[in-house]
């Protein structure tokens, strides 16, 4: 829902242009507020996608009765009715929006009010009683917020493009480039734009206009909760089911049609199970061609979703995706709307599905977040296998035999890829566990751009210190990085089509439960992933959903990049060769190893293509 932008500077900025760059996020209305405080120009802008209270009364900025407090808000507060009833019974309201609840709660409680919120949001609050501006982001980082702060000048926005429209120069942050190729996105609060950062999840920034100070504070941590201490496995199943049901129900709050991304996998099927019998809900599923699935070595999502929809009588729409969709035009499209560069093959299908869904639904529920919280990735299983291996005689010899496996040739390609990676990094320090979960090969990704390798490895080592339990380390590592990449592209690809994405698994109460229960409740000692979810919903879901093999949600990159002609058509080697730091020799080597089937470098090739198009669009 919506986009926000604004500034505190020594001169007025083109707020209308900044807002116009976010038009796709809010086609329904826009509003601005500008003033001068202590010789500083201050501006707030809002572009609206109407989800709650579709009338003009819901337009922003929201202003207090004394005209001293102004709020621009993006997102939803899912418990706003409860908060209204509990804290604001005596207040007079002019709208039925959650934003007005935010304003009145802030007036009553100050900045501490954010601890009461259950929602996905990014907001700015200008308080002229204190001469302070607050920027606030939700606990899980579902809604984006970027800022540039230099020499007492602050510019912020839901997307980077609004900051660039303010006059902040688009420059490549070369120091972040190697990490981009390793992770396929910029980790932590970094971006590839110099002097532009993300406000991290569960943080707020405070600009004090009286003394021109800018500071950022953390207001929540996803820690273990005392009330879940020593919780039994049976009680954990009951609790996760209760919380997910409530989280899903809360995310149905809307005055517009709601739909879901339905893959036929565990996570989206759990959400759909709560919606059986609701004929107003539409479900959307991508389908891939058989030839792509064979080259990928993966299974089809669509056949499971189709079967489920038939059994449950769900209104489901099929949206075909395939090799033909991965062309420079589509890649450029995702980059244009994303601007904070992410090389993830899931972006194009997310965009295509939402483009079709937008014709009927303005809100889409996603099962994103379950894999990170409940240990659903192959890298988690590899970490478990690593532990088994360390207790075996001749473990290094066994690992070496895994490394000798070709990744792209023969049967069971997906398993071969994972075993190859396990064998390659088995002897590495403790940060190897991070390498098991990142997309693509670590050493190959390091080699294409000659950056400060020590900084990259130290970044990983900080998350995985020697002797630490890797599964405890995953909690922070994936929450602060991989999960942020995923919610970022979900927001950008849905909002590109003026649709709001909502994520029940990232309700903060579900996060706290996942952090509190033991590892073997999530990943069993025999390697069964997301165990507590599968067992909690085994009576609600068919066996072909709970027992099926995981399939990736993304473009068939391995199929697409099995052709040298296709790679040459997409990859601009001349541009990369002209830039300092790139190693064309290593790039060529990785491409040839990929084509031969020795290695799977599809993710790295896609990252190179994505970077070149981003660079041409923003920097050149």
Sequence length of the chain is 620
Q: Which H, E and C letters describe 419-440, residue by residue?
A: HHHHHHHCCCCCCHHHHHHCCC
For the chain, the helix, strand and coil percentages under 3-state DSSP, each to the nearest 5? 45, 15, 35
For 130-183, the DSSP string reads TTEEEEEE-TT--S--EEEEETTEEEEESSHHHHHHTT----B-GGGHHHHHHH
Tell me the angle at which helices 508-516 and 233-250 cross, rounded to the nearest 10 degrees. Answer: 170
Element (H, E) at 469: none
Running DSSP on this structure, what letter comes out for residue 193?
B
Catalytic site includes residue 473: no
Q: Which of 2, 142, 196, 496 is catalytic?
A: 2
Please answer whether residues 414 and 297 qualify as being in contact, where contact means their C-beta atoms are separated by less than 8 angstroms: yes
Pick from 159, 143, 150: nearest CA to 200 = 143
Tokens 């116009």 belong to: 20
What is the Cα–Cα distance from 398 to 402, expressed in whole angstroms?
7
Could you tell me whether strands 197-198 and 119-127 are parallel, antiparallel, or unpaired per DSSP bridges? unpaired
Tell me the angle at which helices 98-109 and 80-87 cross, rounded to the nearest 10 degrees. Answer: 40
What is the Cα–Cα distance from 96 to 78, expressed in whole angstroms?
13
Tokens 């003026």 belong to: 498
Tell me which residues are annotated as active site: 2
């Amino acid at each position: 829902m919506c986009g926000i932008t604004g500034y505190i500077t020594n001169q007025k900025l083109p707020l209308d242009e900044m807002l116009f760059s976010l038009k796709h996020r809010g086609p329904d209305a826009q509003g601005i507020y500008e003033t001068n405080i202590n010789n500083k120009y201050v501006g707030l802008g809002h572009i609206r996608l109407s989800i709650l209270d579709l009338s003009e009364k819901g337009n922003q900025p929201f202003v207090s009765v004394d005209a001293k407090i102004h709020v621009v808000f993006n997102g939803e507060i899912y418990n706003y009715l409860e908060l209204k009833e509990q804290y604001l019974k005596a207040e007079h309201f002019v709208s039925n929006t959650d934003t007005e609840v935010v304003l009145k709660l802030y007036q009553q409680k100050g900045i501490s009010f954010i601890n009461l919120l259950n929602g996905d949001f990014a907001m700015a609050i200008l308080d002229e009683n204190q001469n302070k501006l607050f920027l606030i982001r939700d606990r899980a980082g579902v809604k984006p917020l970027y800022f540039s702060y230099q020499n007492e000048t602050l510019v912020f926005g839901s997307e980077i493009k609004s900051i660039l429209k303010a006059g902040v120069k688009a420059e490549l942050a070369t120091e972040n480039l190697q990490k981009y190729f390793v992770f396929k996105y910029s980790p932590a609060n970094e971006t590839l734009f110099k002097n532009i950062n993300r406000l991290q999840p569960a943080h707020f920034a405070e600009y004090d206009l009286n003394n021109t100070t800018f500071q950022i504070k953390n207001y929540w941590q996803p820690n273990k909760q005392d009330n879940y201490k020593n919780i039994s496995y049976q009680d954990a199943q009951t609790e996760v089911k209760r919380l997910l049901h409530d989280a899903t129900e809360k995310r149905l709050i809307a005055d517009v049609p709601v739909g879901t991304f339905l893959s036929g996998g565990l996570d989206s099927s759990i959400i759909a199970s709560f919606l059986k019998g609701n004929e107003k809900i539409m479900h959307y599923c991508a389908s891939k061609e058989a030839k792509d699935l064979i080259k990928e070595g993966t299974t089809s999502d669509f056949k499971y979703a189709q079967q489920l929809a038939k059994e449950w009588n769900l209104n489901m729409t099929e949206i075909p995706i395939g090799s033909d969709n991965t062309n420079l035009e589509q890649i450029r499209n995702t980059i244009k709307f994303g601007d904070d560069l992410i090389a993830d093959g899931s972006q194009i299908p997310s965009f295509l599905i939402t483009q079709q869904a937008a014709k009927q639904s303005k809100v889409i529920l996603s099962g994103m977040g379950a894999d990170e919280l409940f240990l659903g990735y192959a890298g988690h299983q590899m970490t478990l296998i690593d532990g088994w291996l360390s207790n075996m005689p001749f473990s290094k010899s066994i690992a070496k035999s895994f490394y000798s496996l070709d990744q792209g040739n023969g049967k069971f390609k997906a398993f071969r890829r994972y075993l190859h990676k396990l064998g390659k990094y088995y002897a590495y320090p403790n940060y190897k566990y991070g390498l098991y979960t990142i997309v693509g090969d670590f050493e190959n990704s390091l080699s294409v751009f000659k950056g400060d390798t020590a900084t990259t490895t130290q970044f990983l080592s900080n998350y995985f210190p020697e002797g630490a339990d890797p599964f405890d380390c995953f909690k922070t590592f994936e929450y602060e990085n991989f999960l942020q990449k995923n919610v970022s592209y979900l927001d950008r690809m849905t909002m590109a089509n003026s649709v709001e994405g909502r994520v029940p698994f990232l309700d903060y109460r579900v996060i706290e439960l996942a952090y509190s229960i033991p590892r073997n409740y999530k990943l069993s000692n025999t390697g069964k992933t997301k165990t507590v979810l599968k067992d909690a919903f085994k009576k609600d879901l068919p066996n072909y959903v709970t027992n099926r093999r995981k399939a990736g949600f993304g473009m068939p990159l391995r199929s697409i990049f099995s052709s040298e002609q296709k790679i040459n058509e997409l990859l601009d080697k001349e541009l990369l060769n002209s830039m300092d730091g790139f190693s064309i020799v290593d790039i060529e080597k990785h491409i040839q190893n990929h084509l031969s089937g020795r290695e799977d470098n599809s993710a790295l090739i896609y990252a190179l293509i994505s970077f070149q198009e981003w660079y041409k669009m923003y920097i050149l």
